[in-house]
Amino acid sequence: MATTSIVVMGVSGSGKSTVAEKLVERLGWEFAEGDDFHPEANVAKMRAGTPLVDDDRWPWLRSLAGWIGEREQAGRSVVVTCSALKRSYREVLCEGHPSVWFAHVTVDPDVLRDRLEKRTGHYMPSSLLESQVATLEQLQDDEPGAAVSGAGSPDDVVEQLLAALDSERGLRR
């Protein structure tokens, strides 16, 4: 199988971290949480509930892209979480990295709100959800990846994601 970098994307609360954890259990690939690549200034802004602007995001995305690129060079497949809401953000991640395959986990805003209200110990306040939903640009046909419904159980989401990846990239061939 060719080296694959699955980028689990979607708005906050869609289940990126949950799905990625299960993927890593299944595949045994190396994992990175995209949020961990934010510079300290961005983390402080998010804690304060201040939406990031794009100039805050480029260094974050370039740093994550660098991590992906190093592993791709070494032929190591990975799983990464990253909201990757805009096409321009996704381009930073996949430019020069043919291994990248986006898995967009899609969930209704009502379900998202409910999940975020129930979640504890996380710095993303649910007030940022509105701006996330407004910012989201759907994955387009000419981008590498697929949209997967996040409405079912985490295991269902993983099954659908792997089936889509298999049909596009021949995961199990």
Ligand X SMILES: Nc1ncnc2c1ncn2[C@@H]1O[C@H](COP(=O)(O)OP(=O)(O)OP(=O)(O)O)[C@@H](O)[C@H]1O
Binding site for ligand X (CB under 6 A): 10, 12-18, 81, 83, 115, 118-119, 124, 150, 153-154, 157
Q: Which residue is nearest to Mg ion (CB)?
A: 17
160 binds, among Mg ion, ligand X, none (CB under 5 to 8 A by kind): none
Q: What is the nearest approach in angstroms of ligand X to the Cβ of residue 149?
A: 9
Q: Smaller CB distance to ligand X: residue 36 or 54?
A: 36
Q: How far apart are CA 123 and CA 149, in angstroms?
A: 25
**Burial tier of 40 (Cβ tally within 10 Å: 0-12, 13-18, 19+):** exposed
Q: What is the nearest approach in angstroms of Mg ion to the Cβ of residue 167?
A: 26
Closest CA to 167 of 83, 119, 103, 115: 103
In the chain, what is the straight-line distance between the N-terminal and C-terminal CA atoms, in Å? 7
DSSP annotation of 138 reads P
126 makes contact with Mg ion (CB under 5 A)? no
Q: Smaller CB distance to ligand X: residue 27 or 124?
A: 124
Q: What is the nearest approach in angstroms of Mg ion to the Cβ of residue 134?
A: 19
Single residue of 3, 8, 17, 70 touching Mg ion by CB under 5 A: 17
Report in angstroms the alpha-carbon separations of 58 from 61, 65, 69, 133. Answer: 5, 10, 16, 20
Q: How far apart are CA 43 and CA 50, in angstroms?
A: 10
Report which residue type is found at 67. W
What six digits make up the tokens of 57?
């995001």
- Contact assessment for residue 74 and residue 54, using Cβ atoms and an 8 Å cutoff: no
Q: What is the nearest approach in angstroms of ligand X to the Cβ of residue 133?
A: 12
Q: Which stretch binds Mg ion (CB under 5 A): 12-20, 64-72, 134-142, 149-157?
A: 12-20
Q: What is the nearest approach in angstroms of Mg ion to the Cβ of residue 45?
A: 17
14 binds, among ligand X, Mg ion, none (CB under 5 to 8 A by kind): ligand X
The binding site for Mg ion (CB under 5 A) comprises: 16-17
